[in-house]
Amino acid sequence: MSQGVTQFLIGGIRVSPDASNEQILERARQKMKRADISVASLHFRLYKKSVDARHRDDVRLVCTVLAESEEVLSDAVRARVLRQPDVRALTREELNVTKGDESMNGRPLVVGMGPAGLFCALLLAEQGYAPILIDRGDCVADRVRAVERFFREGVLDTQSNIQFGAGGAGTFSDGKLLTRINDAHCTYILERLVEFGAPAEILTRAKPHIGTDVLRVVVDRMLERIAACGGEVRYRTCLHALTEYADGTVLAATSGGDIPCSSVVLAIGNAARDTYQMLITRQFAVEAKPISVGVRIEHLQADIDRALYGNFAGHPALGPAEYALSDTRGERGVYTFCMCPGGEVVAAASEEGGVVVNGMSHHARDGVNANCAVAVSVRVSDFEPVDGNVALGAIAYQRRIEQAAFSLGGGNYSAPIQTVGDFLDGTLKSEPSRIQPTYREGAFVRVADLSKTFPHYVTDSLRYGLRSFDRKLAGFACADAVLSAAETRTSAPVRIMRGENGQAIGHPCVYPCGEGAGYAGGITSAAVDGLKTALHMMARFAPPQ
């Protein structure tokens, strides 16, 4: 006898959307019986569920069931079970915290309350490192007020907006948690999110999402926990400069005064252009990286459901349909990104004189429209250096597009929009009709020629992509779908170079992390990177006295 595996995952269970939970579990029991094991000694529960909509007349749920044994199984029985097709052992990677012995001259400072900064500060606080956590923006409630004022009146708060403030860029989002990184820490992140109020279904869905309404509650609770564990949370505190001393201490100059600290985590997100500028001026190794730019497209969610689910459209077990499409034109990729079923397009500017669009949904995803970015890849060679610096050129590239959208929109943070039919034909004949834009409730949009927002290769690739995607998803390029510009903040334009130990090259007390540093893309991967940054710091330092 041995203590080994007592949890098995039974996959490959394909059922109709009408199947009940019990029917799914019964299919798993049948599979286990083939291993000649008493199923009465196993506890079964649904582990993961995804939708296979490749054939719209035969949409299926694809399920994985977890079977837990109440008894310790012999090696022979375990081996027999694991020989069954579609059965594998569930292995978990526990968080492996090791603490170093280098002394910390003061508390660690974490800059940024997005997923990276929050998860970094949470782990540091829980392990006794008493971090100070700052963000240039407001707490969730005040930030919501600032964002709503911007939507209503067009008054932009450059420090507290869709990009900046408690929870970071994803607070006003669909809260999609799917990530392409294959990292064992993802489960830890999801479990902690559930602990702080996210629905438990995120643990079982193949494409989990939280929704902006629930995410706001989760962020508040995480911040409360950080404070309860000895962390200190300061809002409206913007990092302006860093001075590093030979004794290993750092002085962070902020809008709230100087903060002496032992080390600094830069979890600043991809919109902190002034902070990038400061780091470049201070000789940090900051490199330009490829980005993507494009538009948001809006359809009726009901049309997308019909196109993907056929007769199953609207089935409660499926929820609103999602898609992800891609193609290449020459050397440029064009792809859909960050689809928000039942969502709305949000005004995501953080700088004066620029219009930025993005998407968000509530947990219920019950809005009339579906929206999604259609983005074209941009290479580092597309950037013109500014003052001889390509990283600054990458930022200037994004800014130029945002400013063009601002001026096309009329200069009052209205978004320029165009129907897909007109965009493809290069005309300006129609107003939105069947599909109404949702940017600032549709009250602040202006019909315009969106090709004027982008370099010609982006416009050409967008047209190519729309036509290509229409062949893959019927109706994608329907004439009355609505485009809005400009989608520019899909990822960080630069990377703040760091070593294997998480430390910025040449700046051992500074830890760049998350999306802004160029090492993550999306909520879950940024959170994982924040977690790993905390692990790096703890492996080096003993907790401060």
Ligand X SMILES: Cc1cc2nc3c(=O)[nH]c(=O)nc-3n(C[C@H](O)[C@H](O)[C@H](O)COP(=O)(O)OP(=O)(O)OC[C@H]3O[C@@H](n4cnc5c(N)ncnc54)[C@H](O)[C@@H]3O)c2cc1C
Neighbour tally for 116: CB within 10 Å? 35
Report the b/e string of 144-158 with b at 16+ CB within 10 A. Answer: bebbeebbeeeebbe
Task: Rank residues 18 and 366 by Cβ distance to ligand X and give the closer one.
Answer: 366
358 binds ligand X (CB under 6 A): yes
- Exactly one of 106, 231, 367, 514 binds ligand X (CB under 6 A); that residue is 514
Task: Rank residues 273 and 332 by Cβ distance to ligand X and give the closer one.
Answer: 273
Assign 530 to helix, strand or coil: helix
Site for ligand X, residues 461 to 500, rule: CB under 6 A: 489
- Exactly one of 28, 53, 59, 169 binds ligand X (CB under 6 A); that residue is 169
Element (H, E) at 283: none
Task: Rank residues 175 and 465 by Cβ distance to ligand X and give the closer one.
Answer: 175
CA 187 vs. chain centroid, Å, equals 16
Residue among 141, 143, 133 nearest 226 (CA):
133
- With a CB cutoff of 8 Å and minimum separation 6, the contacts of 55 are none
165 binds ligand X (CB under 6 A): yes
Neighbour tally for 458: CB within 10 Å? 25
170 binds ligand X (CB under 6 A): yes
- Sole window of 84-92, 146-154, 356-364, 534-542 interacting with ligand X (rule: CB under 6 A): 356-364
DSSP alpha helix (H) spans, 35-135: 75-82, 115-126
Task: Rank residues 211 and 416 by Cβ distance to ligand X and give the closer one.
Answer: 211
- Exactly one of 106, 108, 131, 175 binds ligand X (CB under 6 A); that residue is 175
- Exactly one of 37, 61, 107, 135 binds ligand X (CB under 6 A); that residue is 135
Distance between start and end Cα atoms, the chain = 46
216 binds ligand X (CB under 6 A): no
Residue among 303, 345, 346, 347 nearest 323 (CA):
303
- Exactly one of 164, 188, 454, 476 binds ligand X (CB under 6 A); that residue is 164
303 binds ligand X (CB under 6 A): no
What is the Cα–Cα distance from 523 to 186, expressed in whole angstroms? 11
- Exactly one of 190, 300, 334, 346 binds ligand X (CB under 6 A); that residue is 346
Torsions phi, psi of 19, nearest 5?
Answer: -65, 140
What is the Cα–Cα distance from 288 to 391, expressed in whole angstroms? 4
- Exactly one of 8, 47, 129, 172 binds ligand X (CB under 6 A); that residue is 172
What is the Cα–Cα distance from 267 to 269, expressed in whole angstroms? 6
Least distance to ligand X, CB of residue 134, Å: 5
Least distance to ligand X, CB of residue 294, Å: 14
Residue among 414, 395, 402 nearest 491 (CA):
395
Residue 539 Cα distances to 76, 250, 287, angstroms: 40, 19, 27
Cβ pair 374, 332 in contact under 8 A: no
362 binds ligand X (CB under 6 A): no
394 binds ligand X (CB under 6 A): no
Task: Rank residues 305 and 515 by Cβ distance to ligand X and give the closer one.
Answer: 515
- With a CB cutoff of 8 Å and minimum separation 6, the contacts of 129 are 104, 107, 108, 537, 538, 541, 543, 544
275 binds ligand X (CB under 6 A): yes
120 binds ligand X (CB under 6 A): no
Task: Rank residues 350 and 418 by Cβ distance to ligand X and give the closer one.
Answer: 350
Neighbour tally for 103: CB within 10 Å? 12
Q: Considering just the CA atoms, what is the radius of gyration of the chain in Å? A: 25
Least distance to ligand X, CB of residue 417, Å: 17
Give the contact letters, 69-108, x = binds to ligand X (CB under 6 A), - = no.
----------------------------------------
Torsions phi, psi of 230, nearest 5?
Answer: 100, 5
Least distance to ligand X, CB of residue 160, Å: 8
What is the Cα–Cα distance from 70 to 67, expressed in whole angstroms? 10
- Exactly one of 112, 320, 343, 367 binds ligand X (CB under 6 A); that residue is 112
- Exactly one of 211, 269, 512, 518 binds ligand X (CB under 6 A); that residue is 269
What is the Cα–Cα distance from 254 to 240, expressed in whole angstroms? 5
Tokens describing residue 300: 């009726």
Cis bond before residue 486 (omega within 30° of 0): yes
Task: Rank residues 32 and 339 by Cβ distance to ligand X and give the closer one.
Answer: 339
Task: Rank residues 78 and 296 by Cβ distance to ligand X and give the closer one.
Answer: 296
Task: Rank residues 42 and 286 by Cβ distance to ligand X and give the closer one.
Answer: 286
Number of residues binding to ligand X, judged by CB under 6 A: 45
- Exactly one of 61, 134, 458, 504 binds ligand X (CB under 6 A); that residue is 134
Task: Rank residues 66 and 346 by Cβ distance to ligand X and give the closer one.
Answer: 346
526 binds ligand X (CB under 6 A): yes
Least distance to ligand X, CB of residue 476, Å: 20
Interface positions with ligand X (CB under 6 A):
111-117, 134-137, 162-165, 168-170, 172-176, 238-239, 267-269, 272, 275, 338, 346, 348, 358-360, 489, 514-516, 520-523, 526
